[in-house]
């Protein structure tokens, strides 16, 4: 059990932690339903329960969180890319990059079924946009599904697991070398 969250998959507990401790705005996403898929209604939804509805309202404080919506089984927790920038890579390449990054620093890393997402300081993810295989998420129009959304987990959470204090997000420049090398190795160049 880490210092930030109790051992739970409760979306409202996570949403409170993201807003209170990290200062990240969040919103409830679609819900994942076992054997029935995503509440978006798309039969082969690529991210079941881990994406925002067509109209979503973001809460910036814990007292603004819509508890009833976050209380629904399988609801996703969605964050606009405002308190962080994000760089998403194919899973194998992202895990290679994380091995290298972990040797030098603690960089928050989110793992999904097919991808790895590295979090960086707001406004600095774009420096990784020229790296092939990288998708950059930055600004209010972009979003990221956070745990406990279906299929999402923290490899390196954005807080110190002993103290619960937020980790300092790295600048995007500090990850370029590791990400480029992982892409090079992963593509067999």
Q: State the average pLDDT over residues 19-29.
A: 95
pLDDT band at 189 (very low <50, low <70, confident <90, very high): low
* pTM for the full predicted model: 0.92
- Exposure string over 152-184, b if 16+ CB within 10 A, otherwise e: bebbbbbbeeeeeebbebbebebbbebbbebbe
Half-sphere exposure (Cβ direction) of 10: Cα atoms closer than 13 Å: 11
Q: State the average pLDDT over residues 17-46.
A: 94
Distance of CA 79 to the CA centre of its chain: 8
H-helix or E-strand containing 30? Answer: strand 27-33
pLDDT of 157 over the 80 cut: yes
Q: At what angle do helices 173-186 and 91-104 cross, to 10 degrees?
A: 130
Q: State the average pLDDT over residues 20-29.
A: 95
pLDDT tens profile 71-100: 999 999 999 999 999 999 999 999 999 999
pLDDT tens profile 121-143: 999 999 999 999 999 999 988 99
- pLDDT of 7 reads 64
Per-domain boundaries in the chain: 11-186
H-state helical runs in the chain: 11-20, 67-70, 91-104, 173-186
Please report, rounded to a whole number, the percentage of residues in the chain having pLDDT higher than 70: 96
């Amino acid at each position: 059990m880490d210092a930030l969250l109790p051992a739970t998959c409760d979306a409202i507990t996570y949403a409170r932690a993201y807003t209170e401790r990290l200062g990240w705005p969040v919103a409830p996403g679609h819900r994942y339903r076992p054997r029935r898929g995503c509440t978006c209604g798309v039969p082969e939804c690529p991210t079941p329960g881990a994406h925002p509805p067509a109209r979503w309202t973001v809460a910036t404080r814990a007292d603004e969180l819509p508890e009833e919506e976050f209380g629904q089984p399988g609801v996703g927790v969605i964050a606009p890319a405002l308190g962080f920038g994000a760089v998403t890579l194919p899973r194998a390449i992202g895990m290679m990059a994380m091995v290298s990054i972990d040797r030098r620093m603690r960089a928050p890393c989110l793992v999904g079924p097919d991808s790895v997402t590295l979090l960086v300081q707001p406004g600095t993810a774009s420096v990784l946009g020229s790296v092939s295989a990288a998708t950059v998420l930055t600004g209010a129009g972009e979003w990221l599904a956070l745990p406990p959304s279906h299929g999402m987990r923290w490899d390196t959470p954005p807080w110190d697991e002993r103290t619960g204090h937020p980790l300092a997000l790295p600048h995007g420049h500090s990850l370029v070398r590791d990400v480029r090398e992982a892409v090079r190795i992963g593509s067999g160049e």
